[in-house]
Structure 1
Amino acid sequence: MVDIVDSATRSRMMASIRGKDTKPELLLRKAMHAQGFRFRLHDKCLPGSPDLVLPRYRAVVFVHGCFWHRHEGCRFATTPATRPDFWADKFQANVARDRKHEAALLAANWRVAIIWECDIKSSVENMADELASWLKTGQSTIMGSEAKKKSA
């Protein structure tokens, strides 16, 4: 399939995709701050530079985009029709890197939460409430929509 825009436009579009301060991340930060939680942002001393670091709880939060981090079964985790081999390798490397960072954080006794973009879009307040209860319970890992399945 041929791209519908020229290469310069596509390059500009791809360059505008941010890794920090994304809309889902900002929404979650605002909701967590409103609940009284204080955190650091993108600590480069920790594996994967987590989006939120809550040192008081020894916990980190990653806000993953469903497309880039391949949220299983999500309608936003589509694969582009052009260059499918390139995209498969790219997505596989992203997922492997995410697992490596999570394992390193867990090995260093950090608690890890992975929040998916689609969970925040559906209800940021509910997600902030789930995160707050997770922080207070002491569980080691929570993964957005998977947490709802476990508690049901």
Structure 2
Amino acid sequence: MADTLSQQDRSKCMSANKNSNTKPEMLVRRLVFSLGYRYRLHNRKLPGCPDLVFAGHKKVIFVNGCYWHRHNCKKGKSTPQTRQEFWETKFKRTAERDKENIKLLEKKGWKVLVIWECQIKKDIKKVQEKIVKFLG
């Protein structure tokens, strides 16, 4: 199936996708704050630029979108019909980069929690329990 948008329009559409301050991230941030935890945002000095950084505890949280980071759920398994090879390469590289960043963080002594978009939509109470257990 051919793309119905021009290359310029598709580029504009794709550039509208945010990489920080997303809806799932904002929900997690509000939840963490309401639990009494304080954090820093998007520390670019750390591998992967984690979404929430708890420097005193040496812990970080990533809030990942299932589609872009290839979670093992329905949304994470879908691929665009056009330019499939390009997208599969892009998604594969993103997943590899995520794994590399987590390994680097752990090597530096950081503990890492990844929260997936579908987990937030499915059961926010379980996400809350996971965060409390992770942060102590």
Fold equivalence (TM over 0.5): yes
How many equivalent residue pairs?
A: 135
Deviation at 1:36, TM superposition (A): 0.3
Corresponding residue for residue 122 of structure 2: 122
Q: Give the letter for the 1:9 counterpart.
A: D
Q: Give the letter for the 1:54 counterpart.
A: F
Corresponding residue for residue 95 of structure 1: 95
Unaligned stretches of 5+ residues in structure 1: 137-152
**RMSD of equivalent CA atoms:** 1.0
Provide the C-alpha distance between the structure 1 equivalents of 2:36 and 2:55, rounded to a whole number of angstroms.
14
Q: Give the letter for the 1:92 counterpart.
A: K
Unaligned stretches of 5+ residues in structure 2: none
* TM-score normalised per structure 1: 0.85
Provide the C-alpha distance between the structure 1 equivalents of 2:86 and 2:94, rounded to a whole number of angstroms.
12
Q: Is the 8 A contact 1:31 1:124 kept in 2?
A: no
Corresponding residue for residue 86 of structure 1: 86
Q: Is the 8 A contact 1:31 1:125 kept in 2?
A: no
Equivalent runs, 1:129-148 vs 2, <5 Å: 129-136=129-136
Instruction: Calculate percent identity across the aligned residue pairs.
Output: 39
Provide the C-alpha distance between the structure 1 equivalents of 2:18 and 2:3, rounded to a whole number of angstroms.
22
Equivalent runs, 1:2-151 vs 2, <5 Å: 2-72=2-72, 74-77=73-76, 78-136=78-136
- Other structure's SS at 1:102 match: helix
